[in-house]
Amino acid sequence: MASSGIIVFIFTVLCICAVKSGFIKVECKAENVGHYGQQSLLECVVKTSSDVTDPNIRVVAWKKLTSPEDGGDLVLAFQRGKLDQPKRGYRFAEPSWNEKNMNVSLLITNTAVADNGDYKCIVITDSGDDSIVTTLKVQAKYSISTVYSIPEKIVPNKGSTLVCESHGGYPKGTLRWFDEENHDWTKSSEMEATQSDDGLFQLTSRLSLLGGSTFPKYTCAVFNASGGKVDEKTFETNIPPSSPLESPGSSGLLSPYTSKVVAPLVVIGSLIIGLLLLLLYKRRSQKTRRNSTAPLMGGRDAVPTDLEEGYNSPEDESINQDQS
């Protein structure tokens, strides 16, 4: 009997809609946001032209659409002066609604993921009819439940894995990893998303750490479908900072941000070494030229280099006496 009543109601709506008038217009917000487990409101009102006075609503039908071409699933209906038994969790936004009330907004009392999607509102009055489609976007906030390591205690110079878990979110979000200097290591991780029976997502991300190149702290952050960060947790590895020339996943090679610092230092060091070698070469050249001029300053009687400094050894004094 209930199903036959619905069929008669839909047939009545289609017949009345065949004679359409421009005297009324149903206006709704194009997009509505609902939060999981809370009330959601799809705002719609009936507007009439100046030619219409004291209009009466004959039919209101709210349908949940599964596709634009689909006839929809009836969730709330008013016809023949009375409200049909609504689908559980759906009612008019105004508790004392009647055929004189032009506010036909739909209230969902306990929003679920299944409520996400398009809704069609059909209104028939004694002055005309109209219909419109509006959208409900359901959201559920993510939270990070835990961050842990495998093995439980990270040992220096041995590989390990960090695991981050987040649950209770909708639509599908993402987990990202950052080190203590806020560098993003998400590309080195793998994320898995599973959807539970209630439609909510559970996210799990695993970040592999290489032995000998691990940061003291890592932060796991969860982002919603719009890219906004909603929660984060930090994990301490209790490992001393790695060598500045290495970073996780680099296998001993320079990381991109470390090479920016090391490259200028290498250039400056090379210049300093070059200058020192040039000064040493010039000093040796001057000493060689000074020694090469000694034979030209008196043959075998040339004064030794030590004499230039004003010093005569005892052997030099005896030689000078014999010559005299």
pLDDT at 55 over 70: yes
CA distance 206 to 167: 15
Task: Please tell me the predicted confidence (pLDDT) of residue 291.
Answer: 59
Amino acid at 281: Y
CA distances from 63 to 10, 164, 166, 286, 313 (A): 11, 40, 34, 101, 120
- Say if residues 145 and 233 touch (Cβ distance below 8 Å): no
Which of residues 232 and 296 earns the better pLDDT score?
232
**What number of residues does the chain have?**
324
Categorize the per-residue pLDDT at 80 as very low, low, confident or very high, splitting at 50, 70 and 90. confident
* 286: helix, strand or coil: helix
pLDDT at 252 over 50: no
Nearest of 117, 104, 124 to residue 44 by alpha carbon: 104
pLDDT at 62 over 50: yes
pLDDT at 302 over 60: no
pLDDT, mean of residues 294-308: 47
* 43: helix, strand or coil: coil
Using left for φ > 0, alpha for ψ between -120 and 50, and beta otherwise, residue 271 falls in alpha
- Say if residues 162 and 235 touch (Cβ distance below 8 Å): yes
CA distance 273 to 203: 54
pLDDT at 253 over 50: no
CA distance 164 to 206: 7
Task: Please tell me the predicted confidence (pLDDT) of residue 275.
Answer: 81
Pairing of strands 82-83, 73-79: antiparallel
Categorize the per-residue pLDDT at 261 as very low, low, confident or very high, splitting at 50, 70 and 90. low
Dihedral of alpha carbons 173, 176, 182, 185, sign = negative
For the chain, which domains are there? 2-139 (2.60.40.10), 143-248 (2.60.40.10)
Task: Please tell me the predicted confidence (pLDDT) of residue 303.
Answer: 46
Task: Please tell me the predicted confidence (pLDDT) of residue 262.
Answer: 55
pLDDT, one tens digit per residue, over 120-136 is 999 999 989 999 999 99
Strand-pairing partners, residue 79, are: 59, 82
pLDDT, mean of residues 239-252: 51
DSSP annotation of 209 reads E
CA atoms within 13 A on the CB side of 141: 8
Count the neighbouring beta carbons within 10 Å of the beta carbon of residue 250: 15
Strand-pairing partners, residue 40, are: 108
> Which two structure tokens, joined as six digits, stand for 152?
């439980």
pLDDT, mean of residues 38-58: 91
CA distances from 199 to 33, 85, 188, 203 (A): 17, 27, 28, 13
Task: Please tell me the predicted confidence (pLDDT) of residue 10.
Answer: 47
pLDDT at 268 over 80: yes
CA distance 26 to 8: 23
CA distance 172 to 116: 13
- Full-model pTM: 0.66
pLDDT, one tens digit per residue, over 197-238 is 999 999 999 999 987 778 899 999 999 999 999 999 999 988
User: φ, ψ for residue 184 (rounded to 5)?
Assistant: -85, 125
pLDDT at 38 over 90: yes
Task: Please tell me the predicted confidence (pLDDT) of residue 16.
Answer: 44
Nearest of 80, 205, 71, 79 to residue 142 by alpha carbon: 205
